[in-house]
């Protein structure tokens, strides 16, 4: 196995030097606490790095990433992050960010994969089934996949609203929900949905 990971540690040391050069107190400040205004829920895909595509730095965004950017009701990990972000950090915006070219969505559309991943993607397959008529009318599989990426984002916004902690924050006007899609082909984020509108 190549020792490619060593590059990461070297990169880290250089990154620290660069950060300190422009902002000597950055780590002292960050070590005292965080007050991010955003919760970002995105896909694990290595091409969709949350901070990088939004040009944000440490302390600016609380981030949850999982395969196909899902908010599954039984996923205690995501629900805990959402709860902490709203209750303790008091984030003002929750962004669900899907991306075109999502392997998880492709697999769900193709009918499934194997084992535990298949179980996880079953939730996306269900969204495809629920929107079967619309997807069937589309001309080809690539177009269907792009549409399912968008439908998945919308469904995850609905799942968010099913969490009582989100419902309460929405009702109190303390949070906005955003559905975005990232396009690998041009690097741009496209807003799909917003609540309250």
Instruction: Round to whole Å and give the CA distance between 107 and 184.
Output: 18
By beta-carbon proximity to Co ion, the closer residue of 121 and 160 is 121
In the sheet that 61-66 helps form, which strands lie side by side, from edge to edge?
61-66, 38-43, 93-99, 176-182, 189-195
In the complex, least distance from residue 101 CB atom to Co ion, rounded to whole angstroms = 8
By beta-carbon proximity to Co ion, the closer residue of 36 and 104 is 104
In the complex, least distance from residue 112 CB atom to Co ion, rounded to whole angstroms = 16
End-to-end alpha carbon distance in the chain = 51
By beta-carbon proximity to Co ion, the closer residue of 45 and 81 is 45
Q: Is 97 a catalytic residue?
A: no
Instruction: Round to whole Å and give the CA distance between 58 and 187.
Output: 21
Residues of this chain that bind Co ion (CB under 5 A): 43, 45, 102, 104
Q: What is the CA radius of gyration of the chain?
A: 18
The single residue of 45, 106, 123, 146 carrying the catalytic annotation is 45
The single residue of 37, 47, 137, 167 carrying the catalytic annotation is 47
Q: Which residues are catalytic?
A: 43, 45, 47, 99, 102
């Amino acid at each position: 196995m190549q020792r490619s990971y060593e590059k990461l540690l070297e990169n880290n040391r250089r990154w620290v030097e660069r950060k300190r050069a422009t902002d000597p107190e950055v780590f002292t400040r960050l070590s005292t606490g965080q007050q991010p205004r955003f919760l970002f829920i995105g896909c694990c895909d290595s091409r969709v790095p949350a901070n990088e595509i939004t040009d944000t730095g440490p302390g600016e965004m609380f981030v949850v990433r999982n395969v196909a950017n899902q908010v599954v009701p039984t996923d205690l990990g995501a629900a805990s992050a959402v709860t902490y972000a709203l209750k303790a950090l008091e984030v003002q915006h929750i962004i669900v960010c899907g991306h075109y070219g999502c392997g998880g969505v492709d697999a769900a559309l193709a009918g499934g994969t194997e084992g535990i991943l298949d179980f996880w993607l079953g939730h996306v397959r269900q969204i495809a089934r629920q929107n079967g008529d619309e997807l069937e009318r589309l001309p080809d599989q690539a177009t269907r996949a792009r549409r399912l990426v968008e439908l998945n984002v919308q469904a995850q916004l609905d799942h968010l609203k099913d969490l009582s902690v989100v419902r309460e924050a929405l009702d109190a006007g303390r949070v906005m929900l955003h559905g975005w899609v990232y396009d690998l082909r041009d690097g741009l984020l496209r807003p799909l949905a917003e609540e309250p509108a």
